[in-house]
Structure 1
Amino acid sequence: MRRRAVEGQRVDRGRGRLVAVTAVALVASVLTPGVAQAAPPANDDFDHAVAISGLPFTHEVDMGEATGAPDDPNPCHQLESGSAWYSFTSTEDVTLRIDVHDTYVETAIFTGARGGLHWEPGTCESGRMTRELDARAGVTYYLKLAASPWQGLVRITAEAVPAPANDHFADRAVVDALPALNRVSLAAATVEAGEPAASCDLNPGSPSVWYTYTPVETEVIALDADSWGGHNAVAAAYTGTSLGDLTEVVCTGYRTLFRAEAGRPLHFQFNAAHATADEVVLGLRLAQALRPDLRVSPEAPSIHDDVRFTDYSDDPEGGGTAIDELDFGDGTVVDPTDGYAYHRYAADGDYTARMTVSGQGGRTATTTRTVSVRTHDVGITGFSAPATARVGTTRPLTVTVADTRYDETVTVTLHRGGSAGYQVVGTLTKPVPARQNRTVAFTFDYAFTAADLAEGTVVFKVVAEPVGVRDALSADNTVIAPAVRVLPARS
């Protein structure tokens, strides 16, 4: 089998692997006056490297007085000069996993001999994360550990990590129900001969594990490839019965949704090129349902309005929605390419508009909205005002209002116009029944004043409005009478 090393380096594994875990714990060192300072650690120099002779392995080293030799290799441009050395030789292919237990150290791994050490690509690590080394049988590896003096006592441990139980397709782990979070370390995983490379995998040949799930019902599944881990994880779903006849259904390097048919087994291949010894997580769950929302504007339309229908649906998965079908309820059905459509109804009535939306993974949802079309329309049919009037007299101003559709309560407002513009001088409110060829009169008694005389002429405007509803046609709701010439009072 072939094993993918860190940062894309392939290593011929063939036999077995080992994981060494290096755990580093800090103990503060205290200098006491009059007491000689501690000597450098026993494995301070390469020639005195401590052998990792058994697993699990534990060793403590005091980095307070660690030094660096002039010929110490430094391929990682490490800032720390104090170092300690360890060696490891295995009789079989193994993987070393290094865990620093929340202590900040710098490490690198080499092969060869002093003066001709060869750095193992991808083994420069700084910080508290676990490390991994794929060790080949018969090869001696040297671990250089560097740390600041204030780190003091450091504890290093190592253990063997077996290959995951579901390393091979034939041994894939069964997922019984959703949701499922499958945590796994890929440090000792392998790549089978004939294993497919997923279409979205930018690091083909990375060690993988396998899972299988058979949905009881047709459903949309959310597949998550360690989306928050930062390990370049890839998950792919396949159908088929063996490695040789797999057909890819979906592939993701983050998170995706796809439709799964009832009773059809799905096989999931999961890898992470940069996971080293860290745990990675394959997530499977049912996708959240769409939340359909249809908005109508205006909310109380008339037969004269172009009504806007807008998709305000929400996708909890963040993928957005599109309108599949929009039925206006009057026999007109459209499939808009945008998230909205316009429609004008031919007659008043209550219509049930129905919208079906779709989202990622084949999810659909339907919602309805009752659209009440009512055409309210009152109009001013006449406005009489005198041609002339004298100061000190009161004259009638009569407005006639017609209504042919619904019984309405109508307010008529009288405005006086002069050099300062229009000002409201009175309102009248009356019921106006819906009757053909009949009108209702609104009469204002207006007293002409010296202020009117100062203007010379006065203009009157009236506005009729149905109470509590919107007038569908406002053009006939306002009338301005001819100007009234104002004369002085009789002496």
Structure 2
Amino acid sequence: MVKHHATRFAIGFTGVIALLVAGPTAAYAAPGNDDFTVATVIGEIPYSTTVDTSGATSDPTDPTGCANNGSVWFRYTPTSNTRLRVDTFGSDYDTVLSAWSGEQGSLTQLGCNDDTNGTQSQISFTGTAGTTYYFMVGICCGDGSAGGGSLRFTIDEFQTAANDSFANALPVGALPYSNLQDLATATTEDGEPSSCFTAPHTVWYSYTPTTSGSVMASTNPTDPGIAIYTGSSLSSLSEVACRRQFTYSPVTFQVQAGTTYLFRVGANRASKVTFWLQYPPGPTVDFSFNERAPNSFDTVYFWASAKDPAGKEIDSYTWDFGDGTTSTTAYASHRFTSDGDYTVQLTARTVDGRAATASRVIAVRTHDVSIVRMTVPSTTRVGQTVGVTVNVQNTRYEETVEVRLHRSGPSGYQYLGEVTQLVPMKEQGKTTPFSFTYTVTPDDQAAERSPSWRWPSLSRTGTRSWQTTS
């Protein structure tokens, strides 16, 4: 049939009317296997063919349990029991593939798949000798008006993964354990649970621990789903834990000695996957604090940092400050009441009981360095060089001390110089002198008084500083 688009008129701003008429559009012929009754018969496998499905239609008798828009049909009867894999890889449009058994009008769906490989589809199942299987390929996600295209249809038999079924779950030995499987050879079986994810490619593992505790299951790549069960058959499984596809974090759970755990690992895409089962490591723990050189008068603030690589939450924190005191908050504060070297420990514990500890040695030193006396002349004259002595007392630790001397004038304080020297620890009342010289100026005479001395500033080299002024 020749189709014409409707005539359209466009009126331009000059008042000219333009008449646009589309030319005839070629109609596509329906492919030879457009209906169930004319399904392409497949004699031997492996089999592969390319079909132009641009003119494919939907027959009223086509089943509706999977996309049937613009559908074409194939059929195959195996002569022996075998594993069959059917796909549309290489097609140039978005396909939906389904498999059926039975008679027209009462077909039983064996599988329906879309987007196993980008926009193409794949189904795998066990074929029984003498049973005829029907395969329908439809157009994805529309009403079929967009048409099909070049369909590449392939069917082949293959050997499944050794642990493809629940009954053939691969036993896990001593931990840590790892195993690589190609999910392209994996299928699902009738009655397989869905748990928190469904996938057309699944494999099974079993593990019976000899001791109770925590174990961690993970995969590489990280996107497959992992479901853990107990039970002796598919129909009696009880779920222990489950990770959805594309969740990425490992699954950590408690096991009981002597109990068998079943692991179902699955993905939408057929790819190689490594399954790991191991004892989970402890959390990573560290902490920081604000005072790098605290004294016995300082309050030291502590911040905990902890993370569990096994994906569990940190349940508790315990601080031991090394002086007989503790705390159980993530962010703690503490004052060490006497000098000493204290080993501070932080222990973080996960909800399943795994723990790790970080420790630091904090040196607490209280420095007692002070200016106790300054000796200056009582009378002076212009041009006279006088001496100024600053007496520093140190009662705790040997210190390197710097003293800076200033004098006051009309424009503020004037810097005169500085002296740095080692000040040993001395008994109370004994001091170390710091000596300065100063030459009296006419400005001092104009002030009609001796210079007004500012008590010098005092600092302990490399640490803190003190300042005392008169």
Which whole-Å CA distance do the structure 2 matches of 1:389 and 1:175 have between them? 97
The 5 Å alignment of 1:275-424 reads 275=268, 282-313=275-306, 315-317=308-310, 321=314, 324-334=317-327, 336-338=328-330, 340-359=331-350, 361-385=352-376, 391-417=382-408, 422=413, 424=415
Q: Which residue of 2 aligns with 1:25?
A: none
Q: TM-score, normalised by structure 2?
A: 0.68
Q: Which amino acid aligns with 2:387?
A: P
Which whole-Å CA distance do the structure 2 matches of 1:246 and 1:134 have between them? 22
- CA contact under 8 A between 1:132 and 1:276: conserved in structure 2? no
RMSD of the alignment, in Å?
Answer: 4.9
In structure 2, the CA distance between the partners of 1:317 and 1:459, relative to structure 1 (3 Å rule), is farther
1:181 to 162, 173, 179: 179
In structure 2, the CA distance between the partners of 1:420 and 1:269, relative to structure 1 (3 Å rule), is farther
Which whole-Å CA distance do the structure 1 matches of 2:436 and 2:294 have between them? 33
Which whole-Å CA distance do the structure 1 matches of 2:329 and 2:226 have between them? 34
- CA contact under 8 A between 1:452 and 1:458: conserved in structure 2? no
1:224-272 CA distance string (max 9 Å, x none): 367733x6x341254x7778997755433342223446x5444124165
Which whole-Å CA distance do the structure 2 matches of 1:312 and 1:108 have between them? 50
Q: Which residue of 2 aligns with 1:68?
A: 55
- CA contact under 8 A between 1:235 and 1:271: conserved in structure 2? yes
Q: Which amino acid aligns with 2:439?
A: A
Q: Which amino acid aligns with 1:98?
A: V
Q: Which residue of 1 aligns with 2:40?
A: 50
Q: Which residue of 2 aligns with 1:141?
A: 134
Shift of 1:219: 6.1
Which whole-Å CA distance do the structure 2 matches of 1:61 and 1:133 have between them? 20
- Number of matched pairs: 418
Q: TM-score, normalised by structure 1?
A: 0.66
In structure 2, the CA distance between the partners of 1:374 and 1:309, relative to structure 1 (3 Å rule), is same
Shift of 1:318: 6.0
Shift of 1:357: 2.0
Q: Which amino acid aligns with 1:157?
A: T
> SS at 1:362's partner residue?
coil
| Larger relative contact order, structure 1 or 2 (CA cutoff 8 Å, min sep 6) | 1
Which whole-Å CA distance do the structure 2 matches of 1:480 and 1:187 have between them? 87
Q: Which residue of 2 aligns with 1:86?
A: 74
Q: Which residue of 2 aligns with 1:190?
A: 190
Shift of 1:321: 4.7
In structure 2, the CA distance between the partners of 1:324 and 1:108, relative to structure 1 (3 Å rule), is closer
Which whole-Å CA distance do the structure 1 matches of 2:199 and 2:222 have between them? 22
> SS at 2:292's partner residue?
coil
1:441 to 423, 433, 458: 433
1:26-50 CA distance string (max 9 Å, x none): xxxxxxxxxxxxx989746446542
Paired-residue identity, %: 29
Q: Which residue of 1 aligns with 2:222?
A: 228
In structure 2, the CA distance between the partners of 1:397 and 1:150, relative to structure 1 (3 Å rule), is farther
In structure 2, the CA distance between the partners of 1:151 and 1:398, relative to structure 1 (3 Å rule), is farther
Which consecutive residues of structure 2, in runs of 5 or more, have no partner in the other structure? 1-27, 141-145
Which consecutive residues of structure 1, in runs of 5 or more, have no partner in the other structure? 1-38, 482-491
- CA contact under 8 A between 1:162 and 1:188: conserved in structure 2? no
- Shifted more, 437-446 versus 179-188: the winner is 179-188
Residue 211 (structure 1) aligned with residue 199 (structure 2): no
Shift of 1:114: 10
Which whole-Å CA distance do the structure 2 matches of 1:204 and 1:119 have between them? 17
Which whole-Å CA distance do the structure 2 matches of 1:167 and 1:422 have between them? 89
Q: Which amino acid aligns with 1:344?
A: R
The 5 Å alignment of 1:260-275 reads 260=255, 263-270=257-264, 272=266, 275=268
Which whole-Å CA distance do the structure 2 matches of 1:169 and 1:115 have between them? 33
